[in-house]
Structure 1
Amino acid sequence: MTVQGARPRLPFFPPDLFEADREHLLRIVRDTGTGPAQKFILGEHTAGFEQALREQLGAADVVACGSGTSALTLVLAAMDVGAGDEVVVPAFGCAPLAGSVVALGATPVFADIDPWTMVVDPDDMERRITPRTKALMPAHMFSVMADMPRLTALARDRGLRLVEDSAVAQGGVQGGVPAGLAGEAGVYSFVQVKTFGTAGEGGAVVTRDAELGRTVRMLRNHGQDGVHRFVHHRIGWNSRFDEVLAAFQLHRLPGLADRLERRAMIAGHYTERFADLAERGVLAPPPGRDGRCSYVYTLQCDRRDALKAHLAERGVDSHVYYPLPLPRQPAFSGFAAPGDTWPAAERAGQRILSLPVYPHLSDAQVEYIADTVREFALAP
């Protein structure tokens, strides 16, 4: 936080996320760079990081890879999704939901979202299933996890593959099941601003299916099996994990639970403070802990741009995620059927606004942000 005159400045993405770990990170860089093995990718740190996550989750396999986006691509490729196949995805969310499908020659089919939670509507997802559908790929969004019990049953009943885009939800739990393990496979993202972000780029595939994990492990390294070098069993990718970042994530893993708890406490406080503002045009996410994640805290506001300006004037940065639904994006508009609509996704794009929720916000800063939103909503 910096000061402009007498007014605090609260950034949306703080520049000091890793300040407490700076010296440790510098040691890791030096030790890795001068180590006798000269192993910069897929070494002992990566293996140790994967093992630590496997044990924490109770997963059959965790495969660290280059990014959350490539993790989605690797999972779909491991499921042999390709030309002629359709994958049903949310109409509202991050571009890789559709981009990973298109990259494999398949077709994304867009389903609308629930107007309050902003995660995919299972009923609309079911309506979008055709004989060409091969997989369902729901995504957790902002503060709320998708309805995985319902979607798991739907995939089972219709004989479809189920990929869980849990990139923003690491640490979330729904009905006792960790995010990423409700479907056949899920993904995490370790880009800086995620709940377990790192000082760079990275991701992971998590799965209860050991054979699926083995295939993903080959695909991330040009189709090699890790036993016979330069023997390529499948066409793969270069999506290998960095040893420096693996060691850094191992260092930061013990503190993850406390950081997640702090995020959840901040989000819960916001929701409590905003509970009476719905009739004033400000809608908070649903309360509760089960099936929740605290990647960012996103509310909906009838006068979103005015609220954003009000916050900025008082030193609070905010962020608009996804102002356009995916089928309205130029890259994906060709996959939208003429005349098709996604009313909840369209409305969300016009109303969403995300507030700072990073764990080292002080109680006073959290209260200031909440007071500023309330000041706007309750103004005559």
Structure 2
Amino acid sequence: MPRSTQGLMDDIQLVDLVGQYRAIQKEILSALEAVLDSGQFIRGPVVEAFEQELAAFLGCRFALGVGNGTDALQLAYMALGLQAGDEVIVPAFTFVATAEAAALLGIRPVFADIDPYTFTLDPASVEARITPKTRALVPVHLFGQAADLAPLLELAQRHHLRVIEDNAQAIGACYQNQKTGTFGDMGCLSFFPSKNLGAYGDGGAVVTHDPELHHRVFMLANHGARRKYYHECIGINSRLDALQAAILRVKLRHLEAYTRARQAAADRYDALLADCPGLTLPYRAPERTHVFHQYTIRIHPEVPGGRDGLQRYLQAQGIPTAVYYPVPLHQLPAFSSWGPYDSLPQAEKAAREVLSLPMHTELTAAQQMRIAEAIRTYLETALRTGQPPVA
């Protein structure tokens, strides 16, 4: 038998998709019923309406729904004409898809280090890795905060490079009052269910201001054809289906409220953990808004038991956490044949220290107080006694 509603309310979830769904259940079911009644499940007016609404929300000219965020990246690389043997510079500390999508096309991912405060691309590290083979820079707006785009865009202009923004974790974030994903040649989005704007399955989008790039992505995502059966190039099959688009249209109307809820939860964490020893709270860079896809703290190396000890302790207390990401990309076996790679100390340090706390739109102040008290107990005890406490 399923647990009671009260039991679900008492539990602390890393991401509470059920609670979010229940709050908008009638809207979701009505939108799905309309699609089912229409019989149009691939492309069609619902997908087109979502694309238009997404482009308007972001402030860009075009948005194209695709199968998932990884496809969005691969299609962006393809649309820009990158070839096997070309190089793209990506952060070493991010989800694998940013580099994987390039490597699948024979494009060499060149890993750069990160800024220790924002976890995003360090422009100085990027500049040191530009070679005659470099074709593009791929800043990732990690955990909901914008990368430092101004110096990266200046580097791209000076070296005649393309810019693809991986905006999978930061929809709605701003850099200098402009939405992320709209600065470069193309922006890539993921609608994985746990994202700030999440579908109930896979989904993604490619956004751009350039009509030719938009048309080329459309063609590439449709087996290389702009019209049926007339294939101009080798493409792939990657489409956002109408059921997911209907869900996303509903949730897009709530996205700004979701963002405010996440930011309010982050403010509460900040207040509850402000003077807690042995940790560093998320940094909020000036001229940027943070939409807190994750609330990621750093556990200092002098804490007995370290990050992993705290994670085990919280798990024993019924508090889920996650490590995004335990191995930087340049140290993964999947990319060993593309190396050797230099040591990237900030990415490697972050991988040892980061811990993401529960963060979602349904998180309550009482739950956060419980989480903060458990963190404080562990850190204060470990630092006072020199031993990690037993749960």
TM-score range, shorter chain: over 0.9
Per-residue Cα deviation, 1:327-377 (whole angstroms, up to 9, x for no partner): 111111222226x21111111111111011101111221222222222222
Per-residue Cα deviation, 1:87-111 (whole angstroms, up to 9, x for no partner): 0000111111110111111100000
Q: Distance in 2 between matches of 1:173 and 1:102?
A: 29
CA contact (8 A) 1:82 1:104 kept: yes
How does 1:299-378 map onto structure 2 within 5 Å?
Answer: 299-302=297-300, 303-337=306-340, 340-378=342-380
2:239 paired with 1:240:
yes
How does 1:41-190 map onto structure 2 within 5 Å?
Answer: 41-190=42-191
- TM-score, structure 1 length as denominator? 0.93
CA contact (8 A) 1:268 1:288 kept: no
Q: Distance in 2 between matches of 1:128 and 1:288?
A: 25
Q: Distance in 2 between matches of 1:283 and 1:250?
A: 37
Per-residue Cα deviation, 1:172-198 (whole angstroms, up to 9, x for no partner): 011011010111111111110000011
Per-residue deviation at 1:68?
0.7
CA contact (8 A) 1:191 1:202 kept: yes
CA spacing shift, 1:29–1:4, aligned 2, 3 Å: closer
5+ residue gaps, structure 2: 301-305, 385-391
Structure 1 window deviating more from structure 2 (172-181 vs 307-316): it is: 307-316
Per-residue Cα deviation, 1:195-251 (whole angstroms, up to 9, x for no partner): 0011111011111222211111111111121xx311112211111111011111112
5+ residue gaps, structure 1: none
2:281 paired with 1:287:
no
Q: Distance in 1 between matches of 2:206 and 2:179?
A: 13
User: Alignment partner for residue 35 of structure 2, among 32, 51, 60?
Assistant: 32
CA contact (8 A) 2:220 2:233 kept: yes
Q: Distance in 2 between matches of 1:2 and 1:288?
A: 42
Structure 1 window deviating more from structure 2 (327-336 vs 79-88): it is: 327-336
Per-residue Cα deviation, 1:44-74 (whole angstroms, up to 9, x for no partner): 1000000111222221110111001100111
Per-residue Cα deviation, 1:245-285 (whole angstroms, up to 9, x for no partner): 111111222111001111011112223433333xx321111
Structure 1 window deviating more from structure 2 (172-181 vs 138-147): it is: 138-147
Q: Distance in 2 between matches of 1:29 and 1:378?
A: 50
Q: Distance in 2 between matches of 1:158 and 1:267?
A: 38
Q: Distance in 1 between matches of 2:158 and 2:106?
A: 26
Q: Distance in 2 between matches of 1:318 and 1:12?
A: 6
Q: Distance in 2 between matches of 1:291 and 1:33?
A: 38
Q: Distance in 1 between matches of 2:111 and 2:157?
A: 20
Per-residue deviation at 1:23?
4.2
Q: Distance in 2 between matches of 1:182 and 1:291?
A: 15
Per-residue deviation at 1:9?
3.0
**What is the identity, as a one-letter code, of the residue corresponding to 2:36?**
G
SS of the equivalent of 1:331 reads: helix
Per-residue deviation at 1:4?
11
CA contact (8 A) 1:72 1:165 kept: yes
Structure 2 counterpart of 1:258: 257
CA contact (8 A) 1:65 1:240 kept: yes
SS of the equivalent of 1:83 reads: coil
CA contact (8 A) 1:184 1:207 kept: yes
Structure 2 counterpart of 1:230: 229
Structure 1 counterpart of 2:389: none
CA contact (8 A) 1:68 1:203 kept: yes
Q: Distance in 2 between matches of 1:3 and 1:260?
A: 25
Per-residue deviation at 1:145?
1.7
Q: Distance in 2 between matches of 1:333 and 1:64?
A: 33
- TM-score, structure 2 length as denominator? 0.90
Structure 1 counterpart of 2:295: 297
CA root-mean-square deviation:
2.1
Number of aligned positions between the proteins? 372
Per-residue Cα deviation, 1:145-169 (whole angstroms, up to 9, x for no partner): 2101111111111110000101100
Q: Distance in 1 between matches of 2:17 and 2:198?
A: 13
Structure 1 window deviating more from structure 2 (41-50 vs 8-17): it is: 8-17
Q: Distance in 1 between matches of 2:68 and 2:132?
A: 31
Q: Distance in 1 between matches of 2:117 and 2:350?
A: 9
Q: Percent identity over the alignment?
A: 37
Per-residue Cα deviation, 1:282-339 (whole angstroms, up to 9, x for no partner): 111113672423101111113111111221222211011110011111111222226x
